[in-house]
Amino acid sequence: MPKILQIAWREYKATVKTKGFIIGLLLAPMLMSGGLIAMVISEKQIDITDRRIAVVDRTGRIAAALVQAVENRNQNEIYNLKTGAKVKPAYEITVIEPAADARAQRLELSNRIRAKQLDGFLEIGASVVHPSDNPDEAHVRYYCENVLFDEVRNWIAWPINNQLRKLRLADAGIDEAKAPDLFQWTGVENMGLVTVDAQTGQINDSDRPNEAQVVAGPLIMVMLMFMMIMMGAAPLLQSVMEEKNQRIAEVIVASVRPFDFVLGKVIGGLAVSLTASSVYVAGGMAVLARMGMTEHVPYELLPWFFTYMVLAVVMFGSNFAAVGSACSDAKDAQTLMLPAMLPVMIPMFILGPILKSPGGAFATTLSLIPPFTPTLMVMRQSSTVAVPAWQPWVGLGGMLAFAVLSVWLGGRIFRAAILFQGKTPRLGTLVKWAIRG
Partner 1 sequence: MYCVEMEHVTKTFGRTVAVNDLSLAVPQSSIYGFIGPNGSGKTTTLRMIMNIFYPDSGTIRVFGETLRGASNDRIGYLPEERGLYKRMKVREILRFYGRLKNGRNVNARVDEWLERFELTAWAGKKVATLSKGMSQKVQFIAAVVSEPELLLLDEPFAGLDPVNADVMRKAVLDLQAAGTTVIFSTHDMNVAERMCNYIFMIFEGRKVLDGTLEEIQSRYGSDTIRIGVEDGAAALETLPGIMSVRNFGRIQELRMAAGCDPQKILAEIVGRTRVHHFEITRPSLHDIFVRIAGPEAKEAARA
* Residue 291 within binding range of partner 1, rule CB under 8 A: no
How far is the C-alpha of 228 from the C-alpha of 310, rounded, in Å? Answer: 10
Q: How far is the CB of 266 from partner 1 (least distance, A)?
A: 17
* Residue 8 within binding range of partner 1, rule CB under 8 A: no
* Residue 263 within binding range of partner 1, rule CB under 8 A: no
* Residue 16 within binding range of partner 1, rule CB under 8 A: no
How far is the C-alpha of 83 from the C-alpha of 99, rounded, in Å? Answer: 44
Q: How far is the CB of 289 from partner 1 (least distance, A)?
A: 38
x/- contact string, 210-249, with partner 1 (CB under 8 A)?
Answer: ---------------------------------x--xxxx
Beta carbons of 378 and 305 less than 8 angstroms apart = yes
Return the C-alpha torsion angle 282, 284, 287, 291, nearest 10.
-120
Beta carbons of 362 and 354 less than 8 angstroms apart = yes
How far is the C-alpha of 273 from the C-alpha of 225, rounded, in Å? Answer: 9
* Residue 355 within binding range of partner 1, rule CB under 8 A: no
Q: How far is the CB of 247 from partner 1 (least distance, A)?
A: 4
* Residue 6 within binding range of partner 1, rule CB under 8 A: yes
Nearer to partner 1 (CB atom), residue 208 or residue 436: 436
* Residue 257 within binding range of partner 1, rule CB under 8 A: yes
How many residues line the site for partner 1 (CB under 8 A)?
20
Nearer to partner 1 (CB atom), residue 162 or residue 429: 429
- 95 beta partners: 55
End-to-end Cα distance, the chain: 28
Q: How far is the CB of 431 from partner 1 (least distance, A)?
A: 16
- Within 8 A by CB and 6+ apart from 96, the residues are 54, 55, 56, 105, 109, 121
Strands 203-204 vs 120-124: parallel, antiparallel or unpaired: unpaired
Q: How far is the CB of 414 from partner 1 (least distance, A)?
A: 13
Which residue type is seen at 161?
N
* Closest to 302 measured CA to CA, from 275, 339, 277: 277
Q: How far is the CB of 7 from partner 1 (least distance, A)?
A: 8
* Residue 432 within binding range of partner 1, rule CB under 8 A: no
Residues that bind partner 1 (CB under 8 A): 1, 3, 6-7, 10, 14, 243, 246-257, 419
